[in-house]
Amino acid sequence: MPQNLPADKNKVSAAGRAAAGPDEIPKPPAGETELGPGYFLQLLEGIGTSLEQAYDSANPLPRGHQRLIRQLLLKDGQTQTELATAMHIHKVSVGLYINDLVEMGLVERRRHPKDGRAYCIHLTEYLHRFRPEGERVFAEIHAHAIKGLPTEEYRMLLQAMEKIYLNLQGLARAPDKVKPITSPAPDSRPGDKPAGAPPVRKKTP
């Protein structure tokens, strides 16, 4: 893999992980049982973070660059705008990642076939030569993650995850099923919204 890679603030060193203490299953938030929503989120976030850290340890590329490459592996030839939308980040950040990856010889820009002002981003043959190694790393992480799970339990886990996935996909298509957060009524206690403060709202990238 190319050298002189940009530093990644998201990477966690082995020493840093060891300093965090022995591995243990998180406990439900105060006032909740393991069947509550807080514990569900804790486990999902913890699994996602652990998977990212495991792959980060084996991949010299920073996480943002990894995410961009994964998007191109799913659909090669996307524009910078399409990549920014898929990654939920600003186009400027995507442009910086692309510049780094072009310099490393891992991606290349090609003129858009229909829009002469735009460029499509393609993975290079050089990058595809690393794909078997990337797949090997994923396979080793997967094997470690499901270690000790009988096949039938693992199959049941996958079926449960598929149901959760479909439920959340349905919710994404009908977001009005979840009542939005509403502002608390002012009562002149500490913590009230300061006078003249702008309304709480989503920010566009």
What is the predicted pLDDT for the residue at 181?
A: 85
What is the predicted pLDDT for the residue at 66?
A: 93
Mean pLDDT of the chain: 85
- Domain residue limits at 93: 58-123
Q: Which residue has the tokens 């973070």?
A: 49
Which amino acid is it at 23?
D
Residue 66 shares a structural domain with residue 109 = yes
Whether 22 is covered by a domain: the verdict is no
Whether 68 is covered by a domain: the verdict is yes
pLDDT digits (tens, 9 = 90+) for 69-78: 999 999 999 9
Whether the pLDDT of residue 104 is over 70: the answer is yes
Q: Is 5 exposed, middle or buried (0-12, 13-18, 19+ CB in 10 A)?
A: middle
Provide CB contacts within 8 A for 187, sequence distance 6+: none
What is the predicted pLDDT for the residue at 205?
A: 53
What is the predicted pLDDT for the residue at 189?
A: 63
Q: What is the CATH number of the domain that holds 115?
A: 1.10.10.10
pLDDT digits (tens, 9 = 90+) for 139-175: 999 999 999 999 999 999 999 999 999 999 999 999 8
Single out the residue of 141, 143, 139, 137 nearest to residue 61, CA to CA. 137
What is the predicted pLDDT for the residue at 15?
A: 44
Domain count, the chain: 2
Whether 160 is covered by a domain: the verdict is yes
Single out the residue of 28, 50, 48, 46 nearest to residue 38, CA to CA. 28
Q: Which two tokens stand for residue 44?
A: 């999902």
Residue 117 shares a structural domain with residue 159 = no
What is the predicted pLDDT for the residue at 173?
A: 92
Single out the residue of 119, 128, 121, 82 nearest to residue 101, CA to CA. 121
Provide CB contacts within 8 A for 122, sequence distance 6+: 72, 76, 77, 107, 108, 109, 110
Whether 202 is covered by a domain: the verdict is no
Whether the pLDDT of residue 20 is over 90: the answer is no
pLDDT digits (tens, 9 = 90+) for 23-65: 778 888 888 999 999 999 999 999 999 998 998 899 889 999 9
Whether 67 is covered by a domain: the verdict is yes
Residue 119 shares a structural domain with residue 85 = yes
Residue 152 shares a structural domain with residue 118 = no
pLDDT above 90 covers what percent of the chain? Answer: 62
The band of 89, judged by pLDDT with boundaries at 50, 70 and 90, is: very high
**pTM, entire model:** 0.67
Helices (H), the chain: 14-19, 37-58, 63-74, 80-87, 91-104, 125-128, 131-145, 151-173
